[in-house]
Structure 1
Amino acid sequence: MRTFIQEIADTIRQQHTDWDNLTVIFPNRRASLYFKKALAENLDTPRWSPAIVSIEEFIGSFSDLKEADKLSLVVALYRVFKRVTHSEENLDHFYFWGEMLLRDFDELDKYLVPAAGLFKDLSNQKELDQYFDYLTEEQKEFLIAFWQTIDFSSSASKQKFLELWQSLYPVYIAFREHLMEEKIAYSGMIHRHVAENIDKLMPAGKKTASSMKYIFAGFNALTAAEEKIMTWFVEHHHASIVWDEDAFYVNEPHREAGTFFRQYRKHSVLGRTFNPEPSVYLGQDKKITILGVPQKAGQPKLLAQQLEATVRALAASGADERTVIVLPDENMLLPVLYALPPALQSINVTMGFPLVSTPFYSLIDFLFDLHQHVRKGEFYYRHVLALLNHPYLKARVGEDAAQWRTFIQKNNQVHISPDFFEKKHDLLETIFQLVPSESFLSYLIHVVEQLATDSSAGGLMEKEFAFHFHRILARVQELTASEPMELRMQQRMFRQIVRAEKVPFTGEPLKGLQIMGVLETRNLDFDHVIVLSLNEGLWPAAPRQGSYIPHNIRKAYQLPTSEHQDAMYAYLFYRLLQRAEKIDLYYNTEPDVLGTGEMSRYLYQLIYETHWPYERKILYNPVQVHEANPITIDKKTDVLEKLERYFGKALTPSTLNTYLECRLKFYFKHLLEIREPDEVEEEADARIFGNIFHKVMELFYQDVKPPAGAWTVNEAHFEKVGTKLDRLIELAFRDHFHLPDTKKFEYDGRQLVVKEMVKKFALKVLSHDKANAPFTIELLESRNFITPIQVTQREQQLTIILGGLIDRVDRKENTVRIVDYKTGKDENKFEDIASLFKRDLKRNKAAFQAMLYAWVYAQRNSGELNRIKIQPGLINRKEIFKDDFEYGLYLGKHRLDDVTALLPEFEQHLHTLLHELFNPTQPFDQTEDLKVCAYCDYREICAR
């Protein structure tokens, strides 16, 4: 089937001999390139091509105004807005509203709206009668309906709205005057200027030359300015208009795709340019397949499978350029490119890709965050880790980046000095340097240049990204010379600009598989059409948001509305299908969380309205609900070998507590050593509070340790205890965050809260210790508080080590206290010895640990047992602030002064537990108490 472009080329070859005086105007440049190729086909001799231009180029050729870039226009509008309204708003705050206002001005001009009338005060019916007597009754009804729907919360807000509205027309006039002086303009301003003055602007030679011929091809939704200009050329130069329409949607009034053609057919001038009857393409034999795929990620994968079978045949026939993949969702471009079969030799991308979706955007945004949160010449760890994990840095720095991330996390480095990155890598030295705010944009530009010119830089796509960001940053830098901005304002400005920018990929469209956006398909035809993401909100696109002009006023003044947009997108859809032979339409079967994004209305129309034959396929994975089977790890040789580590390494109370909670958890945590990744700890969570408190108590008693002799603590050691604690708490913080002594330390936010909590708790503990003085410290934060014990395995006697880190052991007269600090909600009561070994959540783990340490002490000092009392206990935050607090464990309601008599029973239960642990026939299995699983780190593995 001949394409629309080929049909035009055939007509010109047959009906026009004087190509030198012929101009062909298309809606965009893309169609022009295809047209040149089609025109060259079947020529016997070389010929000069007619002038082939886009409508923007054509209209712009009649005006001496030059279209400026958007940033320049928004900045100019900002300055005019400030001058007219006397506003003090910052540029970064104005930018979003400035873009919206610029769009409104552009539309007003393209649709030749009388701006003075539209911007007048529409506050009530009386003013409508006074100012809008020239409007039709229908227009008045729209305006009145709009004003009655405004719900002002107060007269002040109404007045503010009116003042803003009233200022827009003066801003519009002043802005246009400013641009005229500068000989620059926005697109709509040029269109209006030409449309209203075409008779004067048309060069005299061309105006009178009867030999000049014009052909407008492939237009659909015309602006009022385009309509007026095209009408003038039809009337004065007998211009031709080639409409690309189909009877399917033109002859049926309810089909929105034909809205504009039905309108133009009634036009007094343009109506003469139409053929009596529209062409008939839709409804002819086409192979239509509708494919439903769950989730966006599945569509590129299925597309790749579908193309795999045909790619070689396409390449062999040289017809691969006759296949197009249309992406209504621009974010699907990279997933599609990565998924395409490697056998595809050439691919041409013709669409815009959002700059905000590129890695360069996230990198530059991270750099803004990094330098905004510099504190006392050091970088905040979160931003450092984010940069070290960025794909651009990982690709260039290599595995070292992961090692430095691990170092920062393990050593709890909350703030990192730039010195840390010296001589590590050139790129890191460039990025992690302190930069004055006035030089920050130069620094960003240098980083982009270094990334783009690096020998390990990516391909052309990455260089294209770099070019666009280099240009944007350079423009923002120029802007800050006249509009000084803080770093945060620069970042907001950067974000505002980038979010509205796209990378305009333009390759060689006459070769290879075509990948296009929706608008890029205008006037082009393909044998095989593939459309992805055919869902509501993508195609048709969601209604445009962001305008000062409400819907009803837009309708009253015949500005584009959502209905206009729907008609345009409907036409683009059906026009794309007109001459296609094979059509594959993909959609996402999974709507989003709000229930939107369902199958596009166009697919519903194909299925229920057109009566065209089609095949529908839904890709799905059968849902198979598998019951979570119990996990059991038998103690085979490799598992028993892992257990042997406790022949030399201490089996601690916390490890045994884990085993009592769940045997499988013990296996995962202590034998397989599956751990959660290290994270930098900066917040005041319970664990940090406990660590710092323990360190403070250790430092306090280390300070009073004599060089030799008994480590006796007396009342004199508790003098000026508050001052001592301030110093010791700072030392504990330095130790926790690995800060050198040379670095000044100041408490931040929650750290200050932790400091006060630690000090309050420590004062209370030391107050009780003072009341107990004098006493002698035997052990303090001892990591070697262990004892051997014999267990039986396979009828062999094996020696394992039990014990761990003891907070404090002190002695007063004949009583030995085993002190365990607890900063959580641990209790000091237990029912009996057997309850400490039960596998349920009621078991007192803290009391189990205290009793185990008491047993270890008894084993280490068995010769003294008949002369001393052993008193384990918890100094816990929950109890110590009570007036009746007494140190020690409670058996039921009875406080234990000496647990020596309970130790034989404890040892018996302990032997039973250890025998089970090392018994080869007892597997590591899951707990039966599912409440234990609620906060387990391994619950996802167990699927419980």
Structure 2
Amino acid sequence: MVSFISGVLKELISSKENISETIFILPSKRAGSFLLKELSALGEHHIFAPKVYSIEEFTEVISEAKTVDNTITLFEFYKVYKTITPEEVQEDFETFTAWAQSLIHDFNEIDRYLIDYKKFFNYLADIQDLKHWSIQEPKTELINNYLAFWKSLPAYYEGLKKELLSNKTGYQGLIYRLASENIATYAQKHRSKHVFIGFNALNTAEQQIVQHLLENGLAEIYWDLDEVFVKDHQHDASLFINQYLKDWPVYKEKQAKLQVDEYHKPKNIQITGIPKNVGQTKYLGELLANLDEETLQETAVVLGQEDLLLPVLNSLPPNVKDLNITMGFPLKNAPIASLFDRLFQIHQNTGSAYYYKDVISVINHPALNEILKKETEVFIEKIQSKNSVNLSSEEIINSFSVEAQALIKACFKTWDNSPYKVLEAFQQLINQIKIHLKSSDNKLALEFLYHFHVLFNKLENLNETYPHLKSIKSLYQFYKEIMSTQSLDFQGRPFKGLQLMGMLESRALDFKNIIICSVNEGVLPSGKSGSSFIPFDLKQTYKLPTYKEKDAVYTYHFYRLLQRAQNVHLLYNTETDGLNSGEKSRFLTQLEIEKQPAHQLTHAMVSPKVPAIKNELREVKKTPEIMEKIKSLAAYGFSPSALTSYIRNPLDFYRQYVLGVRDSEEVEETVAYNTLGTVVHDSLENFYKPLENKLLTAEDIKAFKAKIEEEITFQFKKSYMNGPVNQGKNLLIFEVAKRYLRNFLNLELDRLKTEEIKILKIEENLRSEINIGKLDFPIFMRGKVDRVENTNGITRIIDYKTGKVTQDKIEIVDWEDLASDYDKYSKSFQVLAYTKMIQDQNLLDFPVEAGIISFKNLKSGFLKFGKKDKPRTKNKETAINKETLDAFEIELKKLITEICDPEVPFTEKEI
């Protein structure tokens, strides 16, 4: 395969052209590097290397001015804006940037296409005057301000242009306009031959430069487009070149350098649909794994989306030993970038205290965690034990050692909304991390850190030169703006091994084997994107590029890549989990419809193998060690809640009581249900404990009601620690706790009207032995009963529940079901267990009733345990007698025997 650049050089050498004196202009620097490589391979004698420019560099040479980036342009524009706009209507910098970015882009387009800005902006202002919705006279202040903005555009343009040119600088479009104005002067001074190679979509300024040099015999331009497309005037790939062939005066007298006849030759084109972007990268890895070293040398991987770079690098097979990456690694994807981003967000949104999750997210960041190590764990345990939701700057800093405090201060010392303090803190943070990384010899992390150091230096310089950044928010906006353009360049051998590039980097380059990823609508071509103040019809009137022209640019690059390639793989994403995704590109459909006779075109769908996963219930066999733990638990005493957890799921019992695995302690932002339950239980214990073995009176209840606020406040402070209860959901839950107590005490007052209540036990610890003949080790049951009382001569065993419990949840039909269905019978099991333990301690006088008082269902009063003969019948026995407890004991012993049986594994229950 003879590449396009090689073909051009061969033609120039054969025509005896003095290559050393020739000036070459190409679309990109990369294409220029390839030209010099090809030239060194073709030259038979030693020669001096010619001058090689990218088109941007060439316009700088002609204009004698330097291009400045978008950030500098924006700062300069704000300076101009402040001098032109009356002070009373000036916007702050943050508001200004919201619209100025788009306006600079439009200025750039106007200059690149050499449009008379005065006529253009007057036309635009008239359009906006017609479009606004207000028809009343006189116009409102809002409408007057709106129209004044559009009328100010010429002044903004002139002011910005004057300011930039005074320093011999300009944004890209301005440099292009200046170059087109200076081309005659340049041509008089430089009589060397200029060769333009591989161009397609030229703006008006570029066209004027090229045409002037062509007409004066100082240039040649070599177009790279196959005759298949040139002859097809409807094909977007030839949109621009056919237009130049038709409109340029020079082509009325001479033939264009356009003799490409490659596209019709045999090609193997494989179109493959793959779900997800990561699926494409994995499939790409499989394709590359089948290529030998020589084939890889002639292969290019073109990424439609920049975000695919990291997944592709992680998917490369071992046989790819040499790799040249043309596109840079976006700095925003560096691991440490998330730390700076997080700190910006925290300080931007934080008042006097820091939210604990924000603090943890910072100190747990890998860059800091490696330095702080155990101190991070100690700090997290401290705030969890104290239940600290909001933390002051001093509290955070003082929680760390003196050695770590410099690092912590850089993160959490108050910035006072000052950009200077932000940048100072970040540089301190970078220095602290650098010391650690040097000792650990992490070269890649140090490289990332160095680029952030350079970035923050740039922000410091900008902030000193242009004091427009007044807040953390405005600095953060610019940090993100600069980050979006910063990249880490890869080092490698530019002409050896596999080539990995973006679509624009492929300009003027040719490869035998091509793999293009993300050939989807919205990616290739990119579709209707980009912000602009210029309406579509105005763009058409002034021949500015619209989305149609932008699509034609992508069409040209796509088909140009295919021209000389012999093996082509086109991958697209089949998934529909976002806008425009899942739809293959129109380019693929075009390839199928316009198929050349010699092309072998195949289409395939690829999907990963997904093995069927059987959800088998897990089980744990009882080893001797587990049996020893169970015996230890039995000797200590099984609680009703432990036994019901076994009924719910034996594996839960195994994890919680055998292994001793508890849920990790976390900061409780919103009062949890169990905390609310603890507050209510402990409050009632404090009220009623002094009344044990006494009759309850209405005076007692009234005294309790007077203390509700004080008691609830005390209990929340004890159970909820430093958690805030004076705002948000917690304030509501605080009020709910007070309401629960008030309603319960009102229920007690109502009962006292008809009942005599004697308090027997409050929060009494119970323990009794269970004799099971089959087991040769002691077994106990233990628990704490909430309340035992005597009501009109009947003993009542009461369990408080802050959740909602209904009567049907504390009734039973068949005793055999008691230890099998947690949802239906767990409440019955608990109250019967308490009753059984009280009986074993000889504290029980029959008749007995046991049941629940549900604070969410207080209107139902005391919910008594009941034994029914048949389901869905109203007849039930609520009095608990010895026969009832004997029947319960049988089921209890069965359950404990199963738990203690070494032959019965802990088997997961299907939920």
Same fold (TM > 0.5): yes
C-alpha change, 1:449 and 1:614, in structure 2 (3 Å) is farther
| Aligned: 1:169 with 2:163 | no
Alignment of 1:441-520 (within 5 A): 441-452=423-434, 454-455=437-438, 462-478=445-461, 482-499=467-484, 501-503=486-488, 505=490, 507-520=492-505
Question: Residue 384 of structure 1 corresponds to which residue in structure 2?
Answer: 359
- Deviation at residue 222 of structure 1 after TM alignment: 0.5
Alignment of 1:619-698 (within 5 A): 619-621=606-608, 643-644=630-631, 646-662=633-649, 679-698=666-685
Of residues 851, 854, 877, the one that matches 2:855 is 877
Q: One-letter code of the match for 1:324?
A: A
1:165-184 deviations in Å (ceiling 9; x for gaps): 33333322332233334443
Indicate conservation of the 8 Å contact 1:536/1:601, yes or no: yes
Indicate conservation of the 8 Å contact 1:441/1:473, yes or no: yes
| Aligned: 1:119 with 2:121 | yes
Indicate conservation of the 8 Å contact 1:22/1:51, yes or no: yes
- Deviation at residue 112 of structure 1 after TM alignment: 1.2
Q: One-letter code of the match for 1:655?
A: A
- Deviation at residue 105 of structure 1 after TM alignment: 0.9
| Aligned: 1:226 with 2:206 | yes
C-alpha change, 1:759 and 1:676, in structure 2 (3 Å) is same
C-alpha change, 1:541 and 1:159, in structure 2 (3 Å) is same
1:100-133 deviations in Å (ceiling 9; x for gaps): 111111111101122222322568xxx68xxxxx
Question: Residue 338 of structure 1 corresponds to which residue in structure 2?
Answer: 314
Please say which of residues 771-780 and 297-306 is displaced more in the overlay. 771-780
SS state of the match for residue 25, structure 2? strand
Alignment of 1:527-926 (within 5 A): 527-593=512-578, 596-611=581-596, 612-621=599-608, 643-644=630-631, 646-662=633-649, 679-698=666-685, 724-739=707-722, 747-766=726-745, 778-780=761-763, 785-791=766-772, 795-809=774-788, 818-827=797-806, 830-832=810-812, 834=814, 837=818, 839=820, 843=824, 845-859=826-840, 861-862=841-842, 864-866=843-845, 871-880=849-858, 882=859, 885=861, 902-918=884-900
- Deviation at residue 4 of structure 1 after TM alignment: 2.1
- Deviation at residue 261 of structure 1 after TM alignment: 1.2
- Deviation at residue 359 of structure 1 after TM alignment: 2.4
SS state of the match for residue 292, structure 1? strand
1:11-48 deviations in Å (ceiling 9; x for gaps): 44444554554211111111122222222224455432
| Aligned: 1:110 with 2:101 | no
Indicate conservation of the 8 Å contact 1:32/1:52, yes or no: yes
1:379-428 deviations in Å (ceiling 9; x for gaps): 32211232244333345555775676566557644234312233584785
Question: Residue 870 of structure 2 corresponds to which residue in structure 1?
Answer: none
Indicate conservation of the 8 Å contact 1:534/1:586, yes or no: yes
Question: Residue 871 of structure 2 corresponds to which residue in structure 1?
Answer: none
- Deviation at residue 568 of structure 1 after TM alignment: 0.7
Paired with 2:501 and 2:680, the residues of 1 have a C-alpha distance of 63
Indicate conservation of the 8 Å contact 2:631/2:777, yes or no: no
SS state of the match for residue 25, structure 1? strand
Indicate conservation of the 8 Å contact 2:211/2:250, yes or no: yes
Indicate conservation of the 8 Å contact 1:536/1:542, yes or no: yes
SS state of the match for residue 241, structure 1? strand
SS state of the match for residue 539, structure 1? coil
Q: One-letter code of the match for 2:453?
A: H
1:706-729 deviations in Å (ceiling 9; x for gaps): xxx989998887787578554544
C-alpha change, 1:717 and 1:2, in structure 2 (3 Å) is same
Please say which of residues 803-812 and 47-56 is displaced more in the overlay. 803-812
State the TM-score, normalized to the length of structure 1: 0.82
- Deviation at residue 229 of structure 1 after TM alignment: 1.1
Indicate conservation of the 8 Å contact 2:520/2:581, yes or no: no
Alignment of 1:347-426 (within 5 A): 347-372=323-348, 374=350, 376=352, 378-397=353-372, 401=376, 412-416=387-391, 417-418=395-396, 419-423=398-402, 425=404
C-alpha change, 1:230 and 1:593, in structure 2 (3 Å) is closer
Paired with 2:708 and 2:461, the residues of 1 have a C-alpha distance of 54
Paired with 1:640 and 1:776, the residues of 2 have a C-alpha distance of 41
C-alpha change, 1:563 and 1:672, in structure 2 (3 Å) is farther
| Aligned: 1:286 with 2:273 | no
Paired with 1:789 and 1:833, the residues of 2 have a C-alpha distance of 24
Aligned residues: 880
Q: One-letter code of the match for 1:908?
A: I
Indicate conservation of the 8 Å contact 1:785/1:805, yes or no: yes
Indicate conservation of the 8 Å contact 1:888/1:895, yes or no: no
C-alpha change, 1:469 and 1:380, in structure 2 (3 Å) is same
SS state of the match for residue 865, structure 1? coil
Paired with 1:712 and 1:420, the residues of 2 have a C-alpha distance of 52
C-alpha change, 1:757 and 1:490, in structure 2 (3 Å) is farther
Paired with 1:555 and 1:21, the residues of 2 have a C-alpha distance of 41
SS state of the match for residue 324, structure 1? strand
SS state of the match for residue 62, structure 1? helix
Indicate conservation of the 8 Å contact 1:350/1:507, yes or no: no
C-alpha change, 1:63 and 1:736, in structure 2 (3 Å) is farther
C-alpha change, 1:101 and 1:721, in structure 2 (3 Å) is farther
SS state of the match for residue 771, structure 2? strand
Indicate conservation of the 8 Å contact 1:352/1:517, yes or no: no
Indicate conservation of the 8 Å contact 1:348/1:512, yes or no: yes
Q: One-letter code of the match for 1:466?
A: L
C-alpha change, 1:494 and 1:774, in structure 2 (3 Å) is farther
Paired with 1:452 and 1:615, the residues of 2 have a C-alpha distance of 53
1:177-199 deviations in Å (ceiling 9; x for gaps): 33334443211111112213432
C-alpha change, 1:695 and 1:551, in structure 2 (3 Å) is farther
Q: One-letter code of the match for 2:601?
A: Y
1:335-389 deviations in Å (ceiling 9; x for gaps): 111222345443222114444333233211211233345564x532211232244
Q: One-letter code of the match for 2:367?
A: Y
Paired with 1:153 and 1:711, the residues of 2 have a C-alpha distance of 82
- Deviation at residue 7 of structure 1 after TM alignment: 2.5
Indicate conservation of the 8 Å contact 1:660/1:839, yes or no: yes
Indicate conservation of the 8 Å contact 1:535/1:587, yes or no: yes
Indicate conservation of the 8 Å contact 1:324/1:528, yes or no: yes
Paired with 1:817 and 1:504, the residues of 2 have a C-alpha distance of 79
Alignment of 1:429-444 (within 5 A): 429-437=408-416, 438=418, 439-444=421-426
Please say which of residues 621-630 and 529-538 is displaced more in the overlay. 621-630
- Alignment gaps of 5+ in structure 1: 129-145, 934-944
Alignment of 1:142-221 (within 5 A): 152=133, 162-200=147-185, 202=186, 207=188, 210=191, 212-221=192-201
| Aligned: 1:69 with 2:69 | yes
- Deviation at residue 281 of structure 1 after TM alignment: 1.4
| Percent of aligned positions that are identical | 29
SS state of the match for residue 356, structure 1? helix
SS state of the match for residue 77, structure 2? helix
- Alignment gaps of 5+ in structure 2: 868-873
- Deviation at residue 226 of structure 1 after TM alignment: 0.7
Paired with 2:619 and 2:725, the residues of 1 have a C-alpha distance of 51
C-alpha change, 1:801 and 1:423, in structure 2 (3 Å) is farther
Paired with 1:276 and 1:816, the residues of 2 have a C-alpha distance of 109
Indicate conservation of the 8 Å contact 2:110/2:173, yes or no: yes
Indicate conservation of the 8 Å contact 2:122/2:151, yes or no: yes
C-alpha change, 1:514 and 1:727, in structure 2 (3 Å) is farther
C-alpha change, 1:692 and 1:226, in structure 2 (3 Å) is farther
